[in-house]
Amino acid sequence: MMLRGLEPDSEALLWKMVSVGEYRDAIHSFLKLCSGAGEEWTPFEDDMDETRLMIVKKQIIVVGEGSAVETYDDVNSSPVDTNIPLYFEYHVIYNQPFSVPQLLFTATRPDESLVPLSALHEWVPQSLISSHSGDQGKQYLWETLTQIEHPILHRPIYALHPCQTSSFITQIRKFSKNWFLSWLTSIGPAVGLKIPLSLAKAH
């Protein structure tokens, strides 16, 4: 069964895609930059399939009082304790249908329960939905940040939909020496991914 929204539309195909070779080169260059900046991303490769190169980063975010994330509970939507650590794990993969990189992530509490998607939606910047209003804006939000099956690990994971990635990368290639880093530093903070300033300046 094909999950809705995972196939590229005809408009997306008009933009320049990222080849597997370009993706792999970008990942290896990014890992070298991370090594020099003390940033930890772990690569995972499949010797039988070059498209399955994935990099992973783990990060802890402490939730303060008033944060949207701490106001939800997986079972009954009751508030949870404030100032709790949330454990994020970020994955960058190559999305084959769209031929672009894609950012996936999990967010769990200390008891290993998953932070609900409805809470994470509060983190999506208004700029991503500013052109939409009312029910249309809500629908766009659910389509931007969604839950899918991990294409490599085959388990549920949250994802930023790659439908606009091709056009975005096409644009940033015009002025950025490192399109991959520019892409990651642009979308990562929307889901809590922290990019060190020393690394962000590299693009």
CA distance 126 to 86: 23
What are the pLDDT digits (tens) for 32-65? 999 888 889 999 999 889 999 999 999 998 866 5
What are the pLDDT digits (tens) for 122-168? 665 555 444 434 444 344 444 678 899 999 999 999 998 888 788 88
| Parent domain of 65 | 12-193
Task: Give the CA count within 13 Å in the CB-facing half-sphere of 17.
Answer: 17
Q: Is residue 61 part of a domain?
A: yes
Q: Is residue 2 part of a domain?
A: no
- The residue behind tokens 């939606």 is 121
What Cα–Cα distance (Å) separates residue 193 from each residue in 59, 92, 105, 181? 8, 12, 9, 13
Number of Cβ atoms within 10 Å of the Cβ of 127:
8
Q: Is residue 167 part of a domain?
A: yes
The CATH number covering residue 120 comes to: 3.30.1460.50
Which of the following is catalytic: 163, 193, 195, 202? 163
Q: Is residue 78 part of a domain?
A: yes
Mean per-residue pLDDT of the chain = 77
Q: What is the pLDDT of residue 32?
A: 94
Please give the tally of structural domains in the chain: 1
Instruction: Give the contacts of 173 (CB within 8 A, at least 6 positions apart).
Output: 16, 179
CA distance 126 to 189: 13
Q: Is residue 17 part of a domain?
A: yes
pTM of the model: 0.78
Are residues 157 and 105 in contact, defined by beta-carbon separation less than 8 angstroms?
yes
Q: Is residue 5 part of a domain?
A: no
Number of Cβ atoms within 10 Å of the Cβ of 202:
18
Write down the H helix ranges in 108-160.
117-120, 134-144
> What single DSSP character describes residue 99?
T
Pairing of strands 84-95, 42-46: unpaired
Q: Is residue 203 part of a domain?
A: no
Are residues 35 and 60 in contact, defined by beta-carbon separation less than 8 angstroms?
no
Q: Is residue 47 part of a domain?
A: yes
3-state secondary structure of 74: coil
Region of residue 38 (phi > 0: left; psi between -120 and 50: alpha; otherwise: beta): left
| Catalytic residue list contains 163 | yes
